[in-house]
Structure 1
Amino acid sequence: MENKYAKLLKCAVVFVIIILAVLSIMITGVINDKDNEQNNALYAKDRPTLDDVFESTGEYVRNHKNLLKEATKSLKTFKYPDHLVVAQIGDVPLTISELEFRKGLYASVNPAKGTNDIFNELVENKIFINEAVQRGFLPTNAEIDEFLSIHKEKYKSDPEYRDGVDKLIQSWGISEDEYWQEYEWYNAYQIIVMDKVYKDVISEAENKSKLPIIGIGDNNSEVMKKQELQKSYWVQYTMKLKKQADVKVNNKFVNELNFDPNKWYSS
C-alpha cells in the first residue's frame, strides 16, 4: 500500500497537488528518495529546503490555525451558507476560509503568486472532488485511516521522515494530533480522491478501447509507451473536465476573481 501512494505522489500527471500536499511530498518523497540522486540535486538547487518552507510558513500558520481547521472541515461537509462560499463547483463549495488560508500560505513562500491563480488552482481541486462525487468515489473513513496508518508507521520507523514531520509540527505550532487529523488528513483526502478518479478514468478508457491495456506479458518498452498514452489521455481529460465544469462564483467576488476554463493552473 505504501508503494501505491508513493507512486501516486510522484506521478507527473497528478496536477492537483496543492501547497499543503506539496509540503507533504517534500517530507515523504524528496527526503527519502534514495533512488534518484540527480533529481534530488536538481530539486535542492531550484527549490527551497524544508527548513526554508517551514520557517516561511510557520508564523502564518501559527496565527491562522482556525483557517487550517476550516480547510479540513471543508472536505468533511459540503453544506455551507452562501455568505461563506467563494464559488460553487458542481456539488462542492470552495469556502472563503480555504481561499484565505491558501492565499496566506502562498504569500509566505511566494508573494508574487496572484489571488486569481490561487483561486483557479483551488477550483481545479474542487473539480476533481466533484468528479469523485459524481462517480461515487469520495474517500471513506477506512481509506483515510489506512493512509494515515501507513504514514504513522513510517514516522516510527524512518528517522528522516520523523525529523521532517517534527520540524513541521514545531514550526507550525501544532500538536501531533493536529498534524495527523487535520494537515495529514487533508492531504490523505486529496490524494485518495486523485487515485480513485485517475484509476476509474483510465479503466473506463481501456474498457471503451480508447487506451490499450497494460498486459502482464508486456516488456518495459511496451509498458512505458502505454503509460505515456495514459498520461496524455489524463491531461486531455482534465482539461475537458475544467472546460465543462459548472462553476458559479459568488456575486461578491465576480469582479475580483476570474475563472479561466481554458488554462490549467496547478502544476
Structure 2
Amino acid sequence: MYRFSRFLKYGRVGSPRFISSAGNLDGRVAIVTAGTDGIGLAIAKRLGQHGAHVVVSSRKQKNIDRAVDELNSIGIKVLEIPCDVADSEQRQILIEKTMKDLGSINIFVQNAGVNPHLFNIMETPGSVLDKTYGLHIKANFQIVQEIFPHMAKSKHQGSIILTSSVLGYTTQHLPGAYGITKASISAMVRAFMSELLNRNIRINCLAFGGIDTSFLQKLRQNEPFTKNILSLIPMKRLGTVDECAGLASYLASDDASYVTGETFVISGGSYNRP
C-alpha cells in the first residue's frame, strides 16, 4: 500500500496526467529551411505553436510570403529570410540576419533537399549527381559548421535536425544518387554528434517515407505507381505532413535533452533498416 500511494503521489499510476506542449519552446529561435510548404511548413507551424520565434527560409520570395501569411494568421511570430541553402553567401546572410534581428539561434531544421531524379543508377548523369551531392551532403555539412558557433552562445541547449528519406535504407536503382546521399546524412549526424555535445548542442535526423507532399501528389496521378507505393506501407496509407511535425518539435525541446545522434524514421512501418 505504501508503494502504491507513493506512485499516486508522483502521478505514476491512476488517471493519466497530460502535459500540454504549448509554450515549451518559449524564448527559443528556430530556423526552418524549405519551410514554406509541405513538411517544412508543418514543422515551422508546430514549432511556432509551441512558442518558438520561427525563421522561415526558402529560395522563392513568393513562397515565403504565402507561408508567412498563413503563420501570421494563427498568431505565430515569423522572420522571413530568402535563402538557397546550396549557396554559401546566402547561408551566411540567413545566419547573420537571424542573429542581428533575434539575438540567438536555438533550433535549426535543415529541410531543404533535391527531389528524387528517377534515372537508372547506371545512367545517372553527372549533373544530377553534382546537384544531389551539393545539397544533401556538402551544404548540410557546411551549414552545421557555420551555425554551431552561434547556437553554442545560447543559454538553451541547441538542437539541430537534418532531414532524410527511407530511400537511404532501401534498395532502389532508380533514385540511386538520391538514396546514396540521403543515407550519408545519418552518417553525418553520428560524425558531428560528439563535437556538438561539447558545445551543448544535440543533432538528430528525421527520415521520411510515403508522406503526402506536393511532389508525391504529382506521382500519384499514375495509379499503378500509387498502388505500388501503398503495397510497401504496412499502414496502407500515406502519412501527413502534420504527422512529421510532432517528432520534430519533440527533438527541438528539452523533453529530448538526452537524445542525440539518432535517425528517426516516419514511414508507416515500411521496411527501412537491415
- TM-score when normalising by structure 1: 0.29
- Greater helix share, 1 or 2? 1
- Greater strand share, 1 or 2? 2
Which structure: larger Rg?
2
Q: Which has the higher contact order (CA 8 A, sep 6+)?
A: 1
